[in-house]
A and B are shown apart, each in its own frame.
Chain A
């Protein structure tokens, strides 16, 4: 691994301006060994208007926030993470078992491959952006590749079904979340089904929210969508000290975190400024952006080797009391109706089921022929037949 000096803007993203060379990064994983010299260089050009920024940066380009607080983290914690992810969520199992014999199922963001091969009469191809997690899948004999859920390297209309389990909440802009859904629909055949699950704002155990760190606009370089706080600046790009919290295994996975159950009752609760059951942040907008901690025990941290670099550049902190390196994972938790809203603009998918289960919002889509969606949406004449 080699280090690549990275010129951070205030918002952690290399700003495209005429005076600045575009930074070529070989692959996201090398960012995990950033030199401590990744100090913020606050540039005047950072105050580019939103429209300008949006048009010059592709929706398929990974924002710094995700590189640092999703990709790097999962790469570093992969084996430990995988060991806590074994319980199969009944709703996902039921969906997979309901698919016709001989189906080709695409799992985008398959993680440690928990669901690959779940239906033994079907064939699975999994992909994930984390090479270490994909390696774990491959070691189990699964057919997998390293790829980006926002830009799937699959031909259109090929698969029979697709699943996206606890993935989209790691995408930091609405456009990227929409893109990922479009990709899931694109790669399956007409009539095929897509199951998407994401963490909900409405957590069953409300006390867990107090253990998360809400993000302020300091960390997010692009907010798109109704109700999202607009980026203001300048703000110093420094990582606030992460309060001692504990990761949780949400969405029915609580019993997964065997290694962490002893921590569940000992953690210190962060007292939020807002009411416990309110997710409204200071400026009145709904808080949906969070850092959720992951405690990587010291003996596990040595194995992956990535933690030394992460500690050096401030991406992780040591908790000697718990004997763990603490990482933060970025989440955009979804509100009620948000998944439906993201899909509403699509002309080739319809919602055939939607439900809330164990602190997750879930949706099942069916890929339709273009234009037929309008027949479902409105009770109008069948002029399209």
Chain B
């Protein structure tokens, strides 16, 4: 699971009013390189909840991202920032661990990089 995906995921358990962001329990993180796409980074940047993204990247072991959400102009000029943004967003994978509902504490397992977000009968 990449941090891009973590930024879109939200707990949809019945009765949960704020299921984002999910907590992360790390057992295994893997880095896999992928080609950078500047158009995509510029498109996705405004959608990203920066605090959740920055916090999550630290949990995954990457500390290079700025705490504060940078000005959008950095996307045009700052290649170093783009590289770090790209790396944290798309090249860090949670292979084994869990995502945690912030309201109920319920854990969604992540195995072989795949989160299982299916709810139990009593959660829908």
Is B57 on the interface with A (CB-CB < 8 A)?
Answer: no
Is B103 on the interface with A (CB-CB < 8 A)?
Answer: no
Question: Which of A135, A143, A146, A158 touches B47 (beta carbons < 8 Å)?
Answer: A158
For B47, the chain A residues whose CB sits under 8 A away are 104, 158, 189
Cβ-defined contact, A145 with B114, below 8 A: yes
Is A207 on the interface with B (CB-CB < 8 A)?
Answer: no
Cβ-defined contact, A154 with B10, below 8 A: yes
Cβ-defined contact, B1 with A145, below 8 A: yes
Is B44 on the interface with A (CB-CB < 8 A)?
Answer: yes
Is B4 on the interface with A (CB-CB < 8 A)?
Answer: yes
Cβ-defined contact, B39 with A102, below 8 A: yes
Contact A101 B8, CB 8 Å, known A146-B116, A146-B117: no
Question: Which of A22, A100, A125 touches B121 (beta carbons < 8 Å)?
Answer: A22
Of A23, A58, A143, A152, most buried by chain B (CB within 10 Å of CB) is A143
Main secondary structure of the interface of B (DSSP, over half): mixed
Cβ-defined contact, A131 with B10, below 8 A: no
What is the size, in residues, of chain A's interface with B at 8 Å between Cβ atoms? 40
Contacting B at CB under 8 A, from A116-130, are 121-123, 125, 127, 129
Cβ-defined contact, B124 with A61, below 8 A: yes
Cβ-defined contact, A102 with B8, below 8 A: no
Cβ-defined contact, B11 with A102, below 8 A: no
Cβ-defined contact, A60 with B124, below 8 A: yes
Is B20 on the interface with A (CB-CB < 8 A)?
Answer: yes
Is B118 on the interface with A (CB-CB < 8 A)?
Answer: yes
Cβ-defined contact, A153 with B11, below 8 A: yes
Of A25, A129, A153, most buried by chain B (CB within 10 Å of CB) is A153
Cβ-defined contact, B4 with A24, below 8 A: no
Total A-B contacts with CB atoms under 8 angstroms apart: 100
Cβ-defined contact, A102 with B37, below 8 A: yes
Cβ-defined contact, B10 with A27, below 8 A: no
Cβ-defined contact, B121 with A138, below 8 A: no
In the assembled complex, the CB of B31 is this many whole angstroms from the nearest CB of chain A, namely 14
For B39, the chain A residues whose CB sits under 8 A away are 101-102, 121
Cβ-defined contact, B10 with A58, below 8 A: no
Is B113 on the interface with A (CB-CB < 8 A)?
Answer: yes
For A102, the chain B residues whose CB sits under 8 A away are 37, 39-44
In the assembled complex, the CB of A117 is this many whole angstroms from the nearest CB of chain B, namely 11
For A27, the chain B residues whose CB sits under 8 A away are 116, 118, 120
For A153, the chain B residues whose CB sits under 8 A away are 9-12, 117
Cβ-defined contact, B118 with A146, below 8 A: yes
Listed by A's residue number, 20 A-B pairs whose Cβ atoms lie within 8 Å are A24-B120, A25-B120, A60-B124, A100-B43, A102-B39, A102-B41, A104-B40, A104-B44, A104-B47, A123-B37, A144-B114, A145-B5, A146-B116, A147-B117, A148-B118, A148-B119, A151-B12, A153-B10, A153-B12, A155-B8
Besides the known contacts A102-B41, A122-B40, A143-B2, 7 further A-B residue pairs in the complex with CB atoms under 8 A apart: A22-B121, A24-B120, A143-B1, A144-B114, A146-B115, A146-B118, A155-B20
Top 10 A-B pairs ranked by shortest CB distance? A102-B39, A102-B43, A102-B40, A60-B124, A153-B117, A146-B116, A145-B115, A147-B117, A101-B39, A155-B10
On B, residues with C-beta under 8 Å from A are: 1-2, 4-5, 8-12, 14, 20, 37, 39-44, 47, 112-122, 124
On A, residues with C-beta under 8 Å from B are: 22-28, 58, 60-61, 100-104, 121-123, 125, 127, 129, 131, 134-135, 138, 143-148, 151-155, 158-160, 189
